Amino acid sequence: MTQPRAILVTQDLSREFQGFRAVNSVNLSIAEGTVHALVGPNGAGKTTLFNLLTGFLKPSDGRIVFAGHDITGQPPERIARLGVARSFQVTSLFPQMTAREHVQLALQSGTGLGHRFWRTDKLMRRFSARAVELLDEVELAHHADRPAGTLPYGQKRALELALALALDPRLLLLDEPTAGMGLEDVERTVALVDRIREGRTVVMVEHNMTVVGSLADAVTVLQRGEVLVEGPYDRVKTDPRVIEAYLGADVA
């Protein structure tokens, strides 16, 4: 069997906060076209790792290579342009803006055209049609004209996914996409991720092991900023170190 190409590689990636290593010499290799789960207890460094991969934080040490480009220390806009998009652990929507307006804004920022062309009707219509398509992809088309603030929690998260998809990313980073959701929304999100993974690579921080089991091809377990175990889900979930460090807490 041929090895799938790695679309994202980190080499000894580290980030310190006042001498504290939140991410400590992490070597990741994410195979193209896979769903790769990042798990580990709170404070393990998962969100910090996402911040490094997307340029929101600069590494203290190490290297990040995405699709053959060294993106170490590059600004977020450039990394996004190369095809890396993310969703946030905490929702970051504008309550008064409608779902459609959110997606239009995301589409606009993804074009690189800036505000100069924003006013032309042609572009407005193009964005508007594409916005509805994206909302449809996350099953929100019927809520296109609702202010984001009035959407239930699960649909806010779905809208954020649509915003990430607006960039048509090759690599999609999802930070706890099912956090705080009831069973129904969790199932909807799993189905959604399963759809949008088509033709892209997904790295997701996820605590729900059922979700990890049904979506992830590979799992990396982080603990105190370091990689504890890495491998296919079935192997990782039975690893004694993982059970002790992380899954054990769930079972208890």
Which residues neighbour 64 within 8 Å (Cβ) at sequence distance 6 or greater?
8, 9, 10, 11, 13, 52, 53, 70, 71, 72
Tokens describing residue 89: 């652990």
Stretch that binds ligand ADP, among 40-48, 66-74, 99-107, 211-219 (CB under 6 A): 40-48
45 part of the interface to ligand ADP, by CB under 6 A: yes
166 binds ligand ADP (CB under 6 A): no
* 26 contributes a contact to ligand ADP by CB under 6 A: no
**Can residue 43 be called a binding residue for ligand ADP (CB under 6 A)?**
yes
Token representation of residue 79: 């990394």
Q: Does 48 bind ligand ADP (CB under 6 A)?
A: yes
The DSSP element (H or E) to which 10 belongs, if any, is strand 6-17
Q: Which is nearer to Mg ion, 134 or 177 (CB)?
A: 177
CA distance to 43, 57, 125, 189, per residue, from 186 (Å):
23, 29, 33, 5
Footprint of Mg ion on this chain (CB under 5 A)?
46-47
Whether 98 and 143 have beta carbons less than 8 Å apart is answered as: no
Among 30, 44, 151, 192, binds ligand ADP (CB under 6 A): 44
Q: Which stretch binds ligand ADP (CB under 6 A): 44-52, 62-70, 76-84, 124-132?
A: 44-52
How far, in Å, CA of 251 to CA of 174, rounded? 25
Which residue's CB is nearer to Mg ion, number 38 or number 79? 38
Cα–Cα separations (whole angstroms), residue 53 to 16, 84, 96, 157, 208: 15, 9, 30, 21, 23
Q: How far is the CB of 242 from Mg ion (least distance, A)?
A: 18
Rounded Cα distance, 141 and 50, in Å: 29
Smallest gap from residue 46 Cβ to ligand ADP (A): 3
Instruction: List phi, psi (to 5°) of 127.
Output: -65, -40
Of 4, 12, 17, 153, the one binding ligand ADP (CB under 6 A) is 17
Beta strand 69-70 pairing with 61-66: antiparallel
Nearest distance, CB of residue 49 and Mg ion, angstroms = 9
* 20 vs 252 by CB, closer to ligand ADP: 20
Number of residues that bind ligand ADP (CB under 6 A): 10
Q: Nearest distance from residue 44's CB to Mg ion, in Å?
A: 8
- Judged by beta carbon distances under 5 to 8 A according to partner kind, the member of Mg ion, ligand ADP, none in contact with residue 189 is none
Q: Which stretch binds ligand ADP (CB under 6 A): 38-46, 142-150, 177-185, 209-217?
A: 38-46
How many residues are present in the chain? 252
Structure-token pair, residue 7:
């679309």
Residues of this chain that bind ligand ADP (CB under 6 A):
17, 22, 40, 42-48
